[in-house]
Amino acid sequence: MTHTVQLLITCLVDSLYPEVGESVVRVLRNAGIQVGFPRGQTCCGQPAYNAGLRSEARRMAEYTIRTFEATDGAVVIPSGSCAAMIRHSYGDLFADDAACLPRARRLAARTFELSEYLVDVLGLADLGARFEGKIGYHASCHLLRELGVDRQPRLLLNSLHGADVIEIAGAQECCGFGGVFSIEHPELSAAMLERKIQSIEQSQAEAVISCDAGCISHINGGLHRRGLRPRLVHLAAVLDAPSSIPDDPGSQPIGG
Partner 1 sequence: MNSIFRAQIRSALANPVLQEALDANAKRRSEARQDALASLPEDWHTLRRRAHTLRAGIVDSLDEHLAEFIRQAQNNGIIVHRAATAQDAVDCIAHIAKDNQAKLIAKSKSMVSEEINLNPALEAEGFQVVETDLGEYIVQLRGERPAHIITPAIHLRRQEVGSTFQEKLGVPYSDDIQHLVRVARHTLRQVFLEADIGISGVNFGVVEDGTLCLLTNEGNGRMVTTLPPIHIALMGIERLVPTRADLAVMLQLLPRSATGQKITVYTSLIRGPSAIAGINPRQRHLVLLDNGRTAIQNSALREALYCIRCGACLNVCPVFREIGGHGYVGQHGESSPYPGPIGSVLSPGLFTAEEFGHLARASTLCGACKETCPVDIDLPKLLLQVRAGVGTVRKGQITTPNSPAALSLGLGIYTWLATNRLRFTIAQRVAGSLGKLFARSHWIHLPAFTGWGYSKDFPLPSARPFRDRFAEQPAGDINSPAGVNNPPETQFTSAVIHRTEELKATLEVISASARFAKELAALGGQITFCSTANLATQVMALLRSRDIDSVISWTQEHLPASFLSILISSGIRITHEAQPSIRAGLTGALAAVAESGTLVLPDGAGKPLVASLTPEIHIAILLEEDIYNNLEEVLCLPQLKQANAAVLISGPSRTADIEMSLTVGVHGPRELYVFCIKE
Contact 171, 136 (CB under 8 A): yes
User: Which residue's CB is nearer to partner 1, number 22 or number 132?
Assistant: 22
Asked whether the CA dihedral 13, 18, 20, 26 is positive or negative, the reply is positive
Residue 246 interacts with partner 1 (CB under 8 A): yes or no: no
Separation in Å, CA 41 to CA 69, 86, 204? 11, 14, 38
- Which residue stretches of 124-226 are H helix? 141, 151-158, 181-184, 186-203, 213-225
Round to whole Å and give the CA distance between 222 and 228. Answer: 8
User: Which residue's CB is nearer to partner 1, number 85 or number 205?
Assistant: 85
Sheet holding 74-77, edge to edge: 33-36, 3-7, 74-77, 111-113
Among 125, 133, 164, 198, binds partner 1 (CB under 8 A): 125
Q: β-strand 74-77 against 3-7: which pairing, if any?
A: parallel
Among 102, 128, 133, 162, binds partner 1 (CB under 8 A): 128
User: Which residue's CB is nearer to partner 1, number 136 or number 256?
Assistant: 256
Separation in Å, CA 234 to CA 22, 34, 123, 209, 254? 12, 21, 20, 6, 6
Quote the least distance from Cβ 160 to partner 1, whole Å.
Answer: 12
Among 37-45, 99-107, 108-116, 204-212, which window interacts with partner 1 (CB under 8 A)? Answer: 37-45
Within residues 180-219, the interface with partner 1 by CB under 8 A covers: 180-194, 217-218
Among 18-26, 68-76, 105-113, 204-212, which window interacts with partner 1 (CB under 8 A)? Answer: 18-26
Coil vs helix vs strand at 227: coil
Within residues 150-179, the interface with partner 1 by CB under 8 A covers: 150-151, 154-155, 158, 167, 173-174, 176-179
Residue 220 interacts with partner 1 (CB under 8 A): yes or no: yes
Size of the site for partner 1 (CB under 8 A): 92
Q: Phi first, then psi: what are they for 34, rounded to 5°? A: -85, 135
Quote the least distance from Cβ 133 to partner 1, whole Å.
Answer: 20
Within residues 41-80, the interface with partner 1 by CB under 8 A covers: 42-43, 45, 47-54, 56, 59-60, 63
Residue 227 interacts with partner 1 (CB under 8 A): yes or no: no
